[in-house]
Structure 1
Amino acid sequence: MALEIERKYLVDLEKLGTLENGSRIKQAYLSTNKDAVVRVRVKNDKAYLTIKGSNIGVTRLEFEYEIPLDEANEMLDKLCQKPVIDKTRYLITHENHIWELDIFYGENEGLVVVEVELSSEDETIILPSWVKEEVTTDARYYNSNLMKHPFKDWQK
């Protein structure tokens, strides 16, 4: 069984410093419902189809398959719900974990989040100084919800 256990946080970019070697990601959803989402993602020159189950705590089922790039681009263009999520992802190593930092563009411009995958829900992690606030259980920050309710439309 493929499980994803992750925590998500907001980021203070001013405390972070220089970011290097980011990967541009465009992704959108073929299906979103309470039990599962089906996502198409293009990351640089590779493409993936991902199925994620609903969260139980910070854990959920996740299955990911590489697919042909031209087919993924056609799915993004013709089959997926809009808008497409557009972001750059940076991988940052901190205290034996790889943190995936996403800077969003387009409809979600201004949003910066970081995720860290864990080996168990109770695993202890040391937060980097640039982490501001945990948003793991705030559904507004799920990429599938950012498509339906973009960051630019949120009430401040």
Structure 2
Amino acid sequence: MPLEIERKFLVKSDAWRDQATHSERLRDGLVARQDGLKVRVRCYGNRTTLCVKSGRRGLSREEFEYDIPRDHAEAIFAHCEGRILEKTRHYVPGESGIWEVDVYHEALEGTIIAEIELPTETTVVKLPDWIGEEVTGDPRYSKANMLTERLRAAKVRELRRACLASQ
């Protein structure tokens, strides 16, 4: 079974930016999520994929990712309304491997999370000085939960504005 073993961290400074070797824009659509299992569609560069991830067990989870035709991906995105994220992923080499620093746009503007994939759960990770709090496994930092919270907050702000305008 293909395993994804990763740790996630908040980013506390922009010191990583000068170290990034390249970047790419990604668009993710959450197709479904239930009991820790999620299905995602992604477009980046010339590649489009469908990915199924199991619930996390420790730092690991099963990950099945398949290339799909772009027109299929676009058709699937049409079913992801309100569950689409856009981000720029920056690749930053470090002593422990390549860090993927995701700078979110639109609904999650201002959110920056760094991830590092590991060969084993016991791999020791040397943290660069720009890395902040670890959020691996923290449900507040799952993409789906972050998006749900931001959309909820936006609706509350919209309702408050409507109430104030009607007074």
Match of 2:163 in 1: none
| TM-score, length basis structure 1 | 0.90
Match of 2:31 in 1: 30
Match of 1:51 in 2: 52
Q: Distance in 2 between matches of 1:57 and 1:117?
A: 13
Asked if 2 retains the 8 angstrom alpha-carbon contact of 1:59 and 1:121, the reply is: yes
What residue ranges of structure 1 are gaps of 5+ in the alignment? none
Q: Distance in 1 between matches of 2:99 and 2:12?
A: 14
Asked if 2 retains the 8 angstrom alpha-carbon contact of 1:109 and 1:151, the reply is: no
Question: Aligned pair 1:108/2:97, yes or no?
Answer: no
Question: Aligned pair 1:66/2:67, yes or no?
Answer: yes
Closer, same or farther in 2 for the Cα pair 1:118/1:20, shift >3 Å?
Answer: closer
Deviates more, 1:11-20 or 1:28-37: 11-20
- Which string of whole-angstrom CA distances, capped at 9 and with x for unpartnered residues, describes residues 63-83 of structure 1? 00011112112211x212423
Asked if 2 retains the 8 angstrom alpha-carbon contact of 1:108 and 1:152, the reply is: no
Q: Distance in 2 between matches of 1:151 and 1:89?
A: 22
* Residue aligned with 1:73, SS: helix
* Number of matched pairs: 153
What residue ranges of structure 2 are gaps of 5+ in the alignment? 155-167
Question: Aligned pair 1:41/2:79, yes or no?
Answer: no
- Which string of whole-angstrom CA distances, capped at 9 and with x for unpartnered residues, describes residues 14-45 of structure 1? 32243453110011111101141000001122
Pair member with larger Rg: 2
Asked if 1 retains the 8 angstrom alpha-carbon contact of 2:96 and 2:126, the reply is: no
Between Structure 1 and Structure 2, the one with more helix by share is 2
* Residue aligned with 1:140, SS: helix
| TM-score, length basis structure 2 | 0.84
Question: Aligned pair 1:117/2:117, yes or no?
Answer: yes
Give the fraction of aligned pairs with identical amino acids, expressed as a percent.
34
Pairwise CA RMSD: 1.9
Q: Distance in 1 between matches of 2:50 and 2:17?
A: 33
Closer, same or farther in 2 for the Cα pair 1:152/1:44, shift >3 Å?
Answer: farther
Q: Distance in 1 between matches of 2:113 and 2:135?
A: 9
